[in-house]
Amino acid sequence: MKIPRKLHRLYAIVVRGLNGMARSDRTSGATRFAKGRIYRSLRTGEEGNALVEFTLVLPILIMVVLGIYIVGIAYNNQTVLTNAVNIGGNYLSTLTPSNTTDPCADTFTQIKNAAGILTPGSIKVSFSLEGTSVPAAYNPSCGGDQSLLSSKANVTVTATYPCNLVIEGINFAPSGCNLYATITELGN
């Protein structure tokens, strides 16, 4: 390759600089010591093994931690749903035909209020008043059925709430997951 005269001097400086980097006899003693130490540690040391092992284990560790987190949320939702249904069942068992026109709607309001962190529109509730079932609904109503509320009558409240078990894009409940809570109370 022919180099123009003006660039010849610059080219010579660059080539000398690159050659100087490549040859270790032109480096200072401290630089040679550091280079030798690095090369020896790379050839014989195991200092990089921990980093490689950590890199391999980290994705698994993240999945385990996220799994614990997601299951913890589902367990918390189950606990909140169970508590809300218990409050709703207790409330329904204290109602009498004279103090309500729609016991199901009133009880559902109590359940919604007690289930603070749950999405109220996702709670599906069904009732059984003295053996008469009120179908499951997201906003149940049984107006006119208050006559079924009698003393010493069993009332049953059942609620379901959807849960989500997706971790790192993997759905661990592909057919769906529902939390379930029920209570049967004896009327007052």
Instruction: Give the whole-angstrom CA distance, residue 82 versus residue 114.
Output: 10
Percent of the chain with pLDDT over 70: 69
pLDDT at 168 over 60: yes
**For all residues of the chain together, what is the average pLDDT?**
77
**Nearest to 140, CA basis, from 111, 113, 115, 118:** 111
**Nearest to 180, CA basis, from 85, 94, 90:** 85
Query: What average pLDDT does this structure show over 145-162?
Result: 78
∠ Cα 127 129 132 (to 5°):
90
Percent of the chain with pLDDT over 90: 19
Q: What per-residue confidence (pLDDT) applies to 83? A: 95
Burial class (CB in 10 A: 0-12, 13-18, 19+), 53: exposed
**Nearest to 176, CA basis, from 160, 187, 157:** 160
In the numeric block, which tokens belong to residue 104? Answer: 């199901």
Side-chain-side CA neighbours of 79 within 13 Å: the count stands at 6
